C-alpha cells in the first residue's frame, strides 16, 4: 500500500482524485492487481467445453468430446505462476524476473481471464475498473486491519468466489483528500 501511495503521490497532482486515464502512469498499482489475481482468482472454474468435431493435437486425434470444467486453480501446477509460489510480490510482474517469469507471462502460466477463443472479452475493462477503484481507495483513505489475525483468503465454492470470511478494516479520510472528496 505504501509503494502504491508513493507512486500515486509522484504522478497525480496533490488533492486531485485519480481517474482511469491516469492508470498508464501507475504501473505498480496495476501490478498489485495482477499479483492479487494470481493468488486469489475471482473465478476458479472455466465453463465446460465440448468439441463438435474430431480434434487433432500433435498427431493425436480425439473424437468429439465433452470436457469437464478445467479449473484455473490448476495455475498452481509446477512451472505455472499459481499459488505454489507464495508471497505477495507485485514486483514479479516488472523487471525482477524469476525463472520462467517475464513480460506477459506467456505459455498459459498466468490465466486469470482464461485463455484462447473464449477468454474473458472484458479483461481490459475488468482490470481498469478494479485498478481505478483500488487506486482511489488507497489514495483517499488510510486503512488499518481490525485485528492482528492474518487475513483468511479462502473463498467459498461457487462459480465466482465470494470470500468465506469478510475482511474487517477501519478507514480514515486522508487530510490531503478531504477537499477533493467533499466536492464529489
Positions at the binding site: 120
Binding residues for ligand HEM, rule CB under 6 A, total 16
What are residue 141's DSSP bridge partners?
173
Q: Which C-beta is closer to ligand HEM: that of 120 or that of 180?
A: 120
- Asked whether 64 and 52 are in contact (CB, 8 A), the reply is yes
Would you say the C-alpha torsion 45, 82, 24, 6 has a positive or negative sign?
Answer: positive
List binding-site positions for heme. 120
Q: Which of residues 54-73 bind ligand HEM (CB under 6 A)?
A: 72
3-state secondary structure of 21: helix
Among 12, 17, 76, 120, binds ligand HEM (CB under 6 A): 120
Among 28, 105, 108, 113, binds ligand HEM (CB under 6 A): 113
Q: CA separation (Å) from 122 to 40, 99, 125?
A: 18, 29, 5
- Asked whether 152 and 162 are in contact (CB, 8 A), the reply is no
Among 12, 43, 134, 136, binds ligand HEM (CB under 6 A): 43
Q: Where are the beta strands (DSSP E) in 5-85?
A: 49-50, 55-57, 60-62, 66-67
Among 8, 18, 32, 46, binds ligand HEM (CB under 6 A): 46
How wide is the angle at C-alpha 168 spanned by C-alphas 150 and 46, nearest 5°?
A: 75
For the chain, the maximum distance between any two Cα atoms, rounded to a whole number of angstroms, is 66
Could you tell me the smallest distance in angstroms from the CB atom of residue 36 to ligand HEM?
9
Q: Which C-beta is closer to ligand HEM: that of 114 or that of 155?
A: 114
42 interacts with ligand HEM by CB under 6 A: yes
Among 118, 154, 163, 170, binds ligand HEM (CB under 6 A): 118
Binding window for ligand HEM (CB under 6 A); candidates: 15-23, 77-85, 121-129, 134-142: 121-129
Q: Which residues of this chain interact with ligand HEM, rule CB under 6 A?
A: 42-43, 46-47, 72, 112-114, 118-122, 125-126, 130
Amino acid at each position: 500500500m505504501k509503494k502504491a501511495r508513493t507512486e500515486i503521490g509522484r504522478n497525480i497532482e496533490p488533492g486531485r482524485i485519480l481517474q482511469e486515464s491516469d492508470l498508464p502512469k501507475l504501473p505498480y498499482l496495476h501490478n498489485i492487481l495482477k499479483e492479487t489475481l494470481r493468488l486469489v482468482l475471482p473465478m476458479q472454474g472455466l465453463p465446460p467445453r465440448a468439441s463438435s468435431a474430431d480434434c487433432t493435437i500433435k498427431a493425436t486425434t480425439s473424437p468429439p468430446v465433452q470436457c469437464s470444467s478445467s479449473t484455473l486453480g490448476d495455475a498452481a501446477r509446477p512451472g505455472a505462476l499459481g499459488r505454489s509460489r507464495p508471497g505477495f510480490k507485485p514486483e514479479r510482474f516488472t523487471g525482477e524476473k524469476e525463472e520462467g517469469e517475464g513480460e506477459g507471462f506467456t505459455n498459459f502460466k498466468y490465466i486469470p481471464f482464461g485463455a484462447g477463443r473464449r477468454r474473458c472479452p472484458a479483461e481490459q475493462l475488468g482490470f481498469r475498473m478494479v485498478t481505478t477503484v483500488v487506486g482511489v481507495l488507497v489514495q483517499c483513505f488510510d486503512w488499518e486491519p481490525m485485528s492482528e489475525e492474518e487475513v483468511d483468503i479462502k473463498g467459498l465454492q461457487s462459480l465466482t468466489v465470494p470470500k468465506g470470511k469478510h475482511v474487517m478494516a477501519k478507514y480514515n479520510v486522508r487530510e490531503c483528500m478531504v477537499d477533493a472528496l467533499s466536492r464529489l
